[in-house]
Amino acid sequence: MKTFKTISALAALLQPAVANLDVVTLFAKVDAYIQEASATLVLGDVPLSNNGDVALWSAIMMQNEASFLQGVTQNSPEGLGYCSNLGNKWCNFAYALIGKYIDLPTYPARVPVLTRRFKAPRPKTAPLSRQPPDPESRLTVGDKVRTVIEHPANLPFDKLNSKTQMWDQNLYIDDELVSTVSTSKGEHGEIFYISIECAAGTCSTAPAHSWEDVSIVLSTADASFGQTGGWDQGATGGDMSTPDGGKTWEFTTLEIPATDVQH
């Protein structure tokens, strides 16, 4: 089993991870910690003949492994994954692993929101106790899922909110907020990940996919934080650059080939 540094919150929800393959792993310094990260996943096909829980995600690990914030897109057969009856669609949700516990999205829904291809359901009408019944409300190939985690006052993927000192984790489909979690008060981001996972069962090959508009903001400039390519799992692109001397880091498009996640 992977250590907590690379374990998926999805695996904790279901059962021990079968395999976790990190594509991007970036460590921040204690005095130049991660303050915000955002990334857009461009979906590929769903896994063929899949009998496992295949998950694609970006995440931030907090310092001292206090919590793990993760935006997840996953596909699995009926009865195995976090979302039911996915078929040839993907399910998308944000959540946080706090120690041994998980914080589920609290708005717009307490369950993962299965979003419409071109127009997500409005958050205020999303059911609070069950998943939307429409089978076409799940995403398909070519759709884009944007995750923003932050800890000051914007609304991207993961970000530290300067007013509450909480990390606001938001997941968008077509610019609609569809899943959000606020946790981890006062914590500082240490590691940024982009990963592929087989969280349970016997997973088929994870299809090729890409990540666009990946951005990381540090608490203070660190010119040594970035790197140019050289990512794992055969990924190409993802060259990093900074427009402001090392505080903000931007990636070119990261292309990830079809990957066997079943060990």
Domain CATH number, residue 179: 2.60.120
178: its two tokens: 């569809």
**Alpha-carbon gap, residue 96 to 166, rounded angstroms:** 12
Domain ranges, residue 71: 9-256
Q: What is the pLDDT of residue 96?
A: 78
* DSSP character string of 38-53: EEEEE--PPPTT-EEE
As for how many domains the chain has, the answer is 1
Are the CB atoms for 84 and 76 separated by under 8 Å? Answer: no
**Alpha-carbon gap, residue 2 to 245, rounded angstroms:** 35
Q: What is the pLDDT of residue 241?
A: 97
Model-level pTM? 0.77
Q: What is the pLDDT of residue 183?
A: 81
**Alpha-carbon gap, residue 39 to 148, rounded angstroms:** 7
Number of residues assigned to the chain:
263
Answer yes or no: is 201 within a domain.
yes
Answer yes or no: is 1 within a domain.
no
Answer yes or no: is 20 within a domain.
yes
Answer yes or no: is 194 within a domain.
yes
Answer yes or no: is 261 within a domain.
no
Answer yes or no: is 97 within a domain.
yes
102: its two tokens: 């998980």
Answer yes or no: is 53 within a domain.
yes
Q: What is the pLDDT of residue 100?
A: 52
29: its two tokens: 């310094």
Answer yes or no: is 2 within a domain.
no
Averaged over successive runs of 10 residues, the pLDDT of the chain (263 residues) comes to 37 52 96 94 89 92 85 86 76 76 41 30 25 37 67 46 79 80 84 94 93 95 89 96 97 96 73
Q: What is the pLDDT of residue 12?
A: 36
Q: What is the pLDDT of residue 106?
A: 40
List Cβ neighbours of 40 (8 Å cut-off, separation of 6 or more): 144, 145, 146, 147, 211, 212, 213, 214
